[in-house]
Amino acid sequence: MNTMQELLNALEQTQVIIAFIGLIALTLYESVHPFFDFFEGSLKDRGSHFLRNMSLGLLNAFMNAFLFVGLWLWAATWANDHSFGLLNWLMVFAPSIPEWVRVVLALVLFDLWMYIWHRMNHEIPLLWRFHRVHHSDPHMDVSTATRFHTGEILLSSVLRIGVILILGMELWELFIYEILVVIVVQLHHANIDLPGKLDHYLRLVIVTPHMHKVHHSRWQPETDSNYSTIFSWWDRFLGTFRLHNPLSSIQLGLDEFDTDEDQSVKGMFRTPFINRDKKKEGD
């Protein structure tokens, strides 16, 4: 148990370190080579935008650390002790399968769940009310990767308990997935454009800045596309892949939540409770 706790602590620390390094590195990259010049050189406006988004991210991180990590650990421990879940059943019926295969399957299957959950957030009106906080950012950059309403994170974290049980996932496998999420999600939200054909080749496997900018488009058919979190192939397999050319012509954000008040921390918390949504409510 002590060894497992040490591993979990090490993975948590690794996630925090990678998130911090990625945030700093991509913020600097955006400063030197921004794809969109959102703030026209205004450091104050950019800083305010960054702090608003990060305030949501930090609140959600503390909530998960204090309320849910223990529950996820319980679910993973129970599944392992009772040989419950798809991954544990696989190891019972095919014990010769290498451990690394199990880990890869865990990451891929959990990423499929993330695709399903993301798509649900767009197709179910109640969930969309919370998720539109993420989409209402007209100045998407690396800080937008943390901009989620606490209600959405709460629902996602509760459902994650069941997903861990169904998959029979180890908590350390979940933490490895979260480390990969930090790297890829910060990259594809960043206000950058990858050089040459790098974006083209990378998006054969992972979600890239070009691909995810399309998902943050104001035009609904583009908003309702490119749901993948890490592996881009889910959108290709399930018919939700879309590109936009030229990418420089894309408009980000949501028309219904464009005021300064909507972009404030108070406004973001109020967004799910405002009936101003043409996309899902038919107003």
Please state, in angstroms and rounded to a whole number, the distance separating the CA atoms of residues 2 and 6: 6
Q: Is 39 helix (H, G, I), strand (E, B) or coil?
A: coil
For the chain, the 3-state helix, strand and coil shares in percent, each to the nearest 5, are: 70, 0, 30
Contacts of 39 (CB under 8 A, 6+ apart): 45, 46, 49, 139
Query: For each of the chain's 283 residues, which pLDDT tens digit applies?
Result: 567 778 778 888 999 999 999 999 999 999 999 999 998 878 899 999 999 999 999 999 999 999 999 999 999 999 999 999 999 999 888 888 999 999 999 999 999 999 999 999 999 999 999 999 999 999 999 999 999 999 999 999 999 999 999 999 999 999 999 999 999 999 999 999 898 799 999 999 999 999 999 999 999 999 999 999 999 999 999 999 999 999 999 999 999 999 999 999 999 999 999 987 665 443 3
SS (H, E, C) 117-169: HHHHHHHCHHHHHHHHHHHCCCCCCHHHHHCCCHHHHHHHHHHHHHHHHHHCC
User: Which two structure tokens, joined as six digits, stand for 279?
Assistant: 């996309």
CA 178, chain centre distance (Å):
9
Dihedral of CA 253/259/264/265: which sign? negative
